[in-house]
Amino acid sequence: MKLKLRIWRQNGPQDAGSMVPYDLDDVSPDMSFLEMLDVLNERLTLDGQEPVAFDHDCREGICGMCSLVINGTPHGPQKATTTCQLHMRHFSDGETIDIEPWRARAFPVVKDLVVDRGAFDRIIQAGGYISAPTGSAPDAHAVPVPKPDADEAFEAATCIGCGACVAACPNGSGMLFTAAKITHLGLMPQGQPERDSRVLGMVHQHDEEGFGGCTNTGECTAVCPKGIPLAAISRLNADFRHALKASS
Ligand code: FES
């Protein structure tokens, strides 16, 4: 495959940045999107040019590090697929592909396609710890969890914190991410003692970091590689209202 790439290049946070064109020949349809960028970077390095900076770690769809807006869509054209799991066979020979970083006030660009997602870490930190009794591990049947709750909690726990929800949202909201974390622990018996303080702390930090509010456009869930549903945000709102009432 021959491709025309237009890639966002930005030297650092203060640099204005711009789209830079590159032609790439001999791309195999079986390559992943990141392998295609590896090929480009190898060529740039051999030519004595600065390679394109981009984030990645597991390349298996589990760490949430890969974060590219491809042709205007976070993680590209395949539904429920991270950038690292996207393959070049989903593009056409001769196609022009635009590659940009997440764009959101709370995720400043560090360099090229790399953004600082530390805001997500600080939201998690604001949620605090859970209380756990000391002593030996309790028997599994001693803490019964209804199956629907276990399934919903597990679904929320699959959030990999990639930030695609923020990149897709016209408000730059991080509510789907925050809601996934709230849902995950809020449905478990172990998450009950700090349930109120957790939701208050995390929502406060979400707003402090400069993320926008949710207006139910649903763009977040449409691009989420793990399919976290919008209903998680309803659960967060219900928990938040309950916590506010309890603290007043
Ligand atoms: S590199 Fe880990 S999810 Fe893509």
Q: 151-190 pLDDT, tens per residue?
A: 999 999 999 999 999 999 999 999 999 999 999 999 999 8
- pLDDT exceeds cutoff 90 at 137: no
CB contact burial 179-196 (16+ within 10 A = b; e otherwise): bbbbbbbbbbeebeebbb
Q: What is the pLDDT of residue 135?
A: 87
CB 131 within 8 A of CB 193: yes
Element (H, E) at 46: helix 33-46
Q: What is the pLDDT of residue 138?
A: 82
What does pLDDT average to over the chain?
A: 96
CA 179 to chain centre: 13
Residues 175, 228: Cα–Cα separation, whole Å:
11
**pLDDT range class, residue 132, cuts 50, 70, 90:** confident
- pLDDT exceeds cutoff 90 at 101: yes
Q: What is the pLDDT of residue 83?
A: 98
Q: What is the pLDDT of residue 30?
A: 97
Contacts with 116 (C-beta within 8 Å, 6 or more apart), sequence order:
107, 108, 109, 110
User: Quick one: average pLDDT of 117-133?
Assistant: 93
Please identify, by atom number, the ligand 1 atom nearest to the C-alpha of residue 58.
2
Please identify, by atom number, the ligand 1 atom nearest to the C-alpha of residue 56.
1
Q: What is the pLDDT of residue 109?
A: 98
SS3 state of residue 186:
helix
Strands 3-9, 18-24: pairing kind: antiparallel
User: Quick one: average pLDDT of 99-105?
Assistant: 97
Q: What is the pLDDT of residues 202-228, one digit of tens each?
A: 999 999 999 999 999 999 999 999 999
Q: Give the mutation target among 35, 37, 38, 58 for probing the ligand 1 site: most ligand atoms within 8 A of CB.
A: 58
Q: What is the pLDDT of residues 43-88, one digit of tens each?
A: 999 999 999 999 999 999 999 999 999 999 999 999 999 999 999 9
| DSSP state for residue 89 in the 8-state scheme | G
Q: Please report the domains of the chain, with CATH numbers, ordered by start residue.
A: 3-110 (3.10.20.30), 117-130+144-247 (1.10.1060.10)
CB 73 within 8 A of CB 223: yes
- pLDDT exceeds cutoff 90 at 142: no
Element (H, E) at 183: helix 175-186
Q: What is the pLDDT of residue 239?
A: 97
- Judged by phi (left if over 0) then psi (alpha if -120 to 50, else beta), residue 244 lies in alpha
CB 164 near ligand 1, within 6 Å: no
Percentage of the residues of the chain whose pLDDT score is greater than 90? 92
In 3D space, the residue among 229, 246, 233, 164 whose CA is nearest the CA of residue 203 turns out to be: 233
Q: What is the pLDDT of residue 144?
A: 87
CB 46 within 8 A of CB 53: no
CB 226 near ligand 1, within 6 Å: no
Element (H, E) at 110: strand 109-111
C-alpha to C-alpha distances, 46 to 4, 115, 175, nearest whole angstrom: 19, 26, 43
Q: Give the mutation target among 38, 57, 102 for probing the ligand 1 site: most ligand atoms within 8 A of CB.
A: 57
Please identify, by atom number, the ligand 1 atom nearest to the C-alpha of residue 57.
1
In 3D space, the residue among 111, 33, 31, 108 whose CA is nearest the CA of residue 75 turns out to be: 33
pTM of the model: 0.94
CB 224 near ligand 1, within 6 Å: no
